[in-house]
Structure 1
């Protein structure tokens, strides 16, 4: 494995990642010709030094969060906007702020506030990606955080059966259409948003549009709006998909990445060394030490020898302590209401909780990225 890895949320809906920020980073690496790197499916933001995914490992550098990674790549010779003028860069930044706010909200609304989509597809998709025990409480955390965020658009959010939100009273579809309209004007008859070659804005827009167009979910309203009212944007997204994802490396698991790094004897993975530490290696080595065989150990010369009775007794007690710790964790989680075991009618299938999740949501429902406002400038002309 190379010394370059991009850690992302795993694949779903025929795309290499379920997360728009991860998709945008994959697209950006393709645009800038970032070569000889591996994609690692992680699915656990807690393992990132910054608590965020995507996370980039480049040599001894570990960078967490899409915007930090973009800044790092730009400074290290992988700048997708180097051909743009200052005026074009300013427009690109304004458009990125627009899509980061409005198209992110559209996906959150579609996936989590729409009960039919959540129950019929999204909850299971995330549960299949997440490790134990996260799969039992993270999806409901995400749902609660998402609903808290999109309530500002109005409309009644239903939580049972196939009775969806009252779409006649919610503003989110108008907000999404306005954003599509701005992008459609910007695109015009060009192949990409700033001409014949893609830029950072194309990478970001693709990350959001792809997750509105391609997922086969029960209620594809945003995808249908794109296909019927903005077909040029839909064709543009297809073009980006073919361009950006054709040469994506085959993903590996975090466990495989750890094992390969350990076999290579990596020297840049010291625990507690700040941004140069490898949290996957540290966790992997800790688990290895906790559950290694109690039968043998290796001496200074590398030969195997039998453990003493005291060492075997200590290993048994350590395993028992770990087991008791796991039981205590489960009791704590259930006792504090982080997980509620119930029927399909209880909290959308028996899940409940609050805390950190994925897709830009962290504890308390706050977005992982800063809130931004829709730019007030006049964006380029009228729609077709």
Structure 2
């Protein structure tokens, strides 16, 4: 029995992650009933690659949508291949548009669900809190939030993060007060309202968001045209892997009911046929009813077209491991070592998608970087030891004990007393 481990349900969808949604859609379309189970583990550490989605077949683990698709094709000798009827040019188009969807869709999903403050704190963070177990519900959301902000920083839309903007303004104000640059009668300024910030940031971001959403939705809308699926001939009922990856990102753009639904509004305005296609694909792959947390955590008590299996409760050992890993990732030296080890492990993984030369080069780079860090640390420690030794040798630091100091002080007082008697003072 194949097991597909994913991030759990949110926003009426089977998963909160686009890659997980794409993989669920592919398995629902390609795999026969009874051959697979869907587990909302919502814990990347269950996979050796520390990634979700991850497909488990006995002792074999395969992560990422494209790797899972390739593995299923090879494992079934082509029987579980949605792209089996595509020709050479169509396969090339599928690869190109898959890359397009992932590269353009992920930043928009990041901006909508994580960077936009109203959506993250009101909708996304509570969604993670309902599907994660302790302590991951306190550890993983901030990590995912930071990762999404890092992935989108080059887009110049960080002003969508109103909380970060307000925190920065407060720090600047406090620094100016401390430096005496603000008169006392202006120190107690009223806190700026979120609505005021939102009004200005909406104007600042409007043109950039318009361009980003148009660059993503309009090519897909044109590609779809009047067809039922993206690569299918007119009116032919033949979805492919491209339809699955598109569903993963488009459903997270269209379906969630967010506090600031700018991405959904842009999709409905710019690509109405694409929105209808997304709803149709969603019903075919995930079912006509909304997915809830109960579907994943208590599948025996809820009806769902997907083969859910309840995830295992986290053990005490797993809790301890998670806390230790979090502590290690918060320690600068250990964090660097773990990052290099993870990079080397991923490079050497057979499902990483690298050639032998690329895998060897990345692995050597990770090992060399780790050794350089060890040498740097050893150099700093050696320099500090030499400095302490020099200071002690020159007498700038005395290692005499307190008792020796007291004895020396007592001897000085006695000598002073004897000298006074001798002089008759």
TM range (shorter): 0.5 to 0.7
Larger Rg: 2
Aligned partners of 1:155 and 1:167 also within 8 Å: no
Aligned partners of 1:53 and 1:66 also within 8 Å: no
1:206 aligns with 2:243: no
Runs of 4+, deviation exceeding 6 Å:
325-328
Cα offset for 1:326?
A: 8.6
Query: Number of residues paired by the alignment?
Result: 280
Q: 1:150 to 1:32 in 2, by over 3 A?
A: same
Instruction: Point out the more displaced range, 78-87 or 68-77.
Output: 68-77
Corresponding residue of 1:174: 211
Cα offset for 1:335?
A: 8.4
Cα offset for 1:31?
A: 2.2
Higher RCO, Cα 8 Å, sep 6+: 1
Corresponding residue of 2:25: 27
Once the two structures are superposed, the pairs formed by residues 195-234 of structure 1 within 5 Å of their partners are 195=232, 196=236, 197-234=238-275
Matches of 2:323 and 2:18, distance apart in 1: 36
Cα offset for 1:333?
A: 7.7
Once the two structures are superposed, the pairs formed by residues 244-263 of structure 1 within 5 Å of their partners are 244-246=285-287, 248-255=305-312
Corresponding residue of 1:4: 2
Q: CA RMSD in A?
A: 3.3
Q: Normalising to structure 2: TM-score of the pair?
A: 0.59
Matches of 2:322 and 2:251, distance apart in 1: 41
Aligned partners of 1:113 and 1:147 also within 8 Å: yes
Matches of 1:31 and 1:327, distance apart in 2: 35
Deviations 1:3-61 (CA, angstroms, capped at 9, x unpaired): 22111111111111111111111111122243312111111101101111111123553
Q: 1:33 to 1:50 in 2, by over 3 A?
A: same
Deviations 1:91-132 (CA, angstroms, capped at 9, x unpaired): 111111011011111000111111111111111111222221
The structure with the largest helix share of the pair is 2
Aligned partners of 2:7 and 2:41 also within 8 Å: yes
Once the two structures are superposed, the pairs formed by residues 314-333 of structure 1 within 5 Å of their partners are 329=324, 332=327
Instruction: Point out the more displaced range, 171-180 or 14-23.
Output: 171-180
Q: Which runs of 5+ in 2 are unaligned?
A: 164-193, 288-303, 344-351, 354-425
Name which of 130, 133, 150 aligns with 2:132: 130
Q: Which runs of 5+ in 1 are unaligned?
A: 257-282, 291-321, 338-352, 357-361, 364-368, 371-384
Matches of 2:217 and 2:229, distance apart in 1: 14
Q: 1:145 to 1:334 in 2, by over 3 A?
A: closer
Corresponding residue of 2:93: 91
